[in-house]
Amino acid sequence: MMQIIFNLMKKLLLLKVFFFTCSSLFSQGLKSSDWPNWRGPNYNGSSIESGLLPVSFDQQNGVKWKTKLPGPSAASPIIVNGKVFVSSILISEGGVTPSKGALLALCYDRESGKLLWQKEAGSGYRPSGDGFDYKLDSKSNYASPSPVSDGSRVAFFYGNGDLVCFNLNGLELWRRNIQKDYGDFCFQWTFSASPTFFGDKLYLPVLQRNEPVHGRGKPNASSFILCMNSKDGKTVWKQDRISIAKKESLESFGTIIPHNKQLVLAGGDVLTGHDPENGNEIWRWGTWNP
């Protein structure tokens, strides 16, 4: 899993940026060269461009710039309006990570790699009082979900439930904590699903297991999709997503199919398609797990 990569990562990571271009963007605020979420502008990880993408590169060749991050991160960088956004954690001199304000939202200049702004986004929330402000255990940290942008704002979500939205210049617009609002997550590993902008809404899938882990979460916790207003972060609707799967087989992610205007969730041994307007389940396909 993505979180285990942390054990193999060096103390100081290098953010390496390669540029992608795509069309069929969903917001007038986005440009054809933007990559506004971890799945790209078409929500499928693909680019329609040819001859522009790097096919041969290493740590030196094909790299326009590189810069040291404050600490490790499993988040994918995104590119919007000439800026690169990524989350990270703060590691102080001597390798001691402070317990307060350690979750970071970072913005770099796309052309030069210069740091444009850095915000301490963490609230210090610890589910069931466990772990630290920046991580739950030694296998990962909370800077695992990827940021997402609609072209005018950028939202950073962290594994402890902190969800913070800024404008592209770093002005905080709103914040909330999903675990405080709806109960502690019930996961074996650090939550790493990323939110998704579509239209004027922000969507977050919370597909969680049905058994508490080390006292965190509730028995038979319901998985759900949360839809929020992108302007103020307030809940528009919350839709339960039922599955008979067990334990961590429930955990996964969601994405948008823009041409059909559906929100698709993979997890709990099934695929489900949902109406972005109200969260109602349109179809279901499965199961593949015996």
Dihedral pair phi/psi, residue 99, rounded to 5°: -85, -10
Identify the band that residue 289 occupies on the pLDDT scale cut at 50, 70 and 90. low
The segment with the largest mean pLDDT, out of 81-90, 211-220, 236-245, is 81-90
Identify the band that residue 102 occupies on the pLDDT scale cut at 50, 70 and 90. confident
Closest CA to 169 of 182, 192, 153, 184: 153
Query: How big is the chain, counted in residues?
Result: 290
Which of 112-123 are b and which e, b meaning 16 or more Cβ less than 10 Å from the residue's Cβ? ebeebeebebbb
pLDDT at 7 over 80: no
Q: Would you state the pLDDT for residue 56?
A: 80
Closest CA to 187 of 30, 47, 3: 3
- Quick one: average pLDDT of 39-68? 83
Percent of the chain with pLDDT over 90: 46
Q: What is the pLDDT of residues 159-207, one digit of tens each?
A: 999 999 999 999 999 999 999 999 888 877 788 889 999 999 999 999 8
Q: Indicate the CATH number of 2-286 among 3.30.420.40, 1.10.150.670, 2.40.30.10, 2.140.10.10.
A: 2.140.10.10
Percent of the chain with pLDDT over 70: 81
Non-local (6+) Cβ contacts of 290 within 8 A are: none
Q: Please state, in angstroms and rounded to a whole number, the distance separating the CA atoms of residues 23 and 34.
A: 9
Q: Which residue has the higher pLDDT, 10 or 159?
A: 159
H/E element, 220? none
Tell the residue number behind the tokens 């099934």, with chain if given: 270
Residue 239's beta-bridge partner residues?
225
